[in-house]
Amino acid sequence: MKILAAFLLCATVFVVSCSADKPKASNLESSSPAAPGRVDTRGLEAASVVGYDGAGIRRSVDNALNQNDAQTAETKKAIVQATEK
């Protein structure tokens, strides 16, 4: 019985502590300026927590994705031009 009470107490503390620290969306938008780069690669900046250059990794991946998008656009343009002839 004491184990069940201890477990319920721990679970309650965990749930309350997780829900209390959630930042509000309005606070995030007003306090931080828009981050440069793609929205898809924001998570890569978390690599700085473990000692990597997260911003550098994000810039590198953004550049690679931009180059890939440019190449894809050129390929599509070439395909359209080839099919029109």
Q: Is 35 helix (H, G, I), strand (E, B) or coil?
A: coil
5 belongs to a structural domain: no
Q: Which of 33-47, 50-64, 68-82 has the highest mean pLDDT?
A: 68-82
Q: Which residue has the tokens 């343009």?
A: 77
23 belongs to a structural domain: no
Look at residue 72 and tell me whether its pLDDT is greater than 90: yes
Domain count, the chain: 1
Q: What is the mean pLDDT of residues 45-52?
A: 88
68 belongs to a structural domain: yes
Segments forming the whole domain that contains residue 62: 42-85
Comparing CA positions, the residue from 50, 22, 55, 19 lying closest to residue 37 is 55
48 belongs to a structural domain: yes
3 belongs to a structural domain: no
Q: What is the mean pLDDT of residues 12-40?
A: 62
pLDDT at 29: 46
pLDDT at 73: 97
